[in-house]
Amino acid sequence: MIKLLFIDDQPIILRFLEDIFSDKVKYEIVGSLTQGKLAELWCEEKKPDAIFLDIQIKEDHINGLKIAEIIKRKYPNIKIIMMTGYDEISYLPRAKDIRVDGFLFKSYPESKFIKALDEIIYQGKKVFPDEDLQIPVTHGQTSLTWREIEVLRLICKDYTNKEIASELFVSESTIKRHVEKLLSKTGKTSRAGLVSHAMSGGWIDPSI
């Protein structure tokens, strides 16, 4: 029997997951939490095999990615499947960086949730989307690199070049070159234009 923990600040998503994994022969639901700050306590006391965790859950300066990072560090054997309802482009690579086991869009059919869990638990697979999300660039330009996307995300958080360089452990001149490439690829003429381009399309969420 697989012990499952669900964490999402939307009760409707928790009910959706409870319905999917209602087979009491195969699954034991040890918790459905709307508060991410309870995750560590539940992991300690309930010892789930897998957690379905919402990326967008935000409280007390913490979010789903940070919660996943903390749990993976403390309980590396617990499988974590991140969920999102948005096409935010930086979520997936950031989730991979903290070594989560799966990443699902909430729009996926129920069968995909079940299949993903089975592959992660029984086959030891990592399950990530096939979708190749990209921020649109001007004609003839190559797609943004992951590093350029990370720089753009920090620009959207109103970081200066110096602050971005410190955050990414590179020189300020390197960041300036990334910003120049971002402006060239997107056809924008200012940092404000970059921010508007990234956020209006829903590709960057600076709050996470």
Which pLDDT value is given to residue 133? 65
In terms of Cβ atoms closer than 10 Å to its own Cβ (0-12, 13-18, 19+), residue 182 is buried
pLDDT digits (tens, 9 = 90+) for 61-93: 789 999 999 999 999 999 999 999 887 788 888
Ranked by mean pLDDT, the top range of 138-142, 181-185, 202-206 is: 181-185
Residues 165-187, mean pLDDT to the nearest whole number: 93
What does the pLDDT average to over 4-19? 96
- Give 121-155 pLDDT, tens digit per residue: 999 999 998 766 677 778 778 888 888 988 998 99
Amino acid 130: pLDDT: 77
pLDDT of 57 above 90 = no
Mean per-residue pLDDT of the chain: 91
Q: Are 34 and 183 in contact (CB under 8 A)?
A: no
Please tell me the predicted confidence (pLDDT) of residue 132: 61
Tell me, what's the pLDDT at 135?
Answer: 76
Residue closest to 53 by CA, chosen among 82, 28, 76, 73: 82
pLDDT of residue 161: 95
Residue 191's identity, in one-letter code, is: R
Map out the domains of the chain with their CATH numbers: 2-122 (3.40.50.2300), 146-200 (1.10.10.10)
